[in-house]
Amino acid sequence: MTQDILKFSGCLILALNVVFAIHISTLYFTNFPLFSNKIVLAYIVNIILAIGIYTLMLLLKNKYQSQLGFIFMLGSFIKFIVFFIVFYPSYKADGTMSRLEFAAFFVPYVISLIMETTSLSKWLNKLS
């Protein structure tokens, strides 16, 4: 199990570092501020939450096998709670949420979600 967590964590961190580099490069070449909109915090928070949810799912896979879908959905709900507590107030401080603010959080969110879903579906298929 530890090996699965380390493999997932390594792949996730690598993927999000690549995406972060592309994201920052895109901002640079379009002359937008590079490190505004809590972009670094968004990537770090998404990494931590994705690894935490993945680890929780692995720990609970034997005891709560039939409820794993709900546990996964609870993890997504927690991510949205974190978004609304940590990021949303500063994004809406001026009354609107710009595309740059939206992308700062949701680009790493989507990449993390895709990687979580792919990894979890692989080992869920092995269980059945």
Contact criterion met (CB below 8 Å) for 116 and 53: yes
When pLDDT is averaged across residues 102-109 and rounded to a whole number, the result is 93
43: left (phi over 0), alpha (psi -120 to 50) or beta: alpha
**Domain hosting residue 87, numbered range:** 2-127
Residues 52-90: pLDDT tens digits? 999 998 888 878 777 888 888 898 899 989 998 998 888
Environment class of 42 (CB within 10 Å of its CB; exposed 0-12, middle 13-18, buried 19+): buried
Q: CA-CA distance, 47 to 43, in Å (whole number)?
A: 6
Q: How many domains does the chain have?
A: 1
pLDDT classification of 108: cutoffs 50, 70, 90: very high
Residues 5-50: pLDDT tens digits? 999 999 999 999 999 999 999 999 999 999 988 999 999 999 999 9
What pLDDT is stored for residue 71 in this prediction? 86
Compute CA distances 47 → 61, 81, 105, 110, whole Å: 21, 16, 12, 11
Q: Is the pLDDT of residue 127 over 70?
A: no
Weakest mean pLDDT among 1-5, 62-66, 105-109: 62-66
DSSP string computed for 33-69:
-SS-TTHHHHHHHHHHHHHHHHHHHHHHTTTTGGGHH
Q: Is the pLDDT of residue 128 over 70?
A: no
Within 10 A of 8 (CB to CB), how many other CB atoms are there? 21
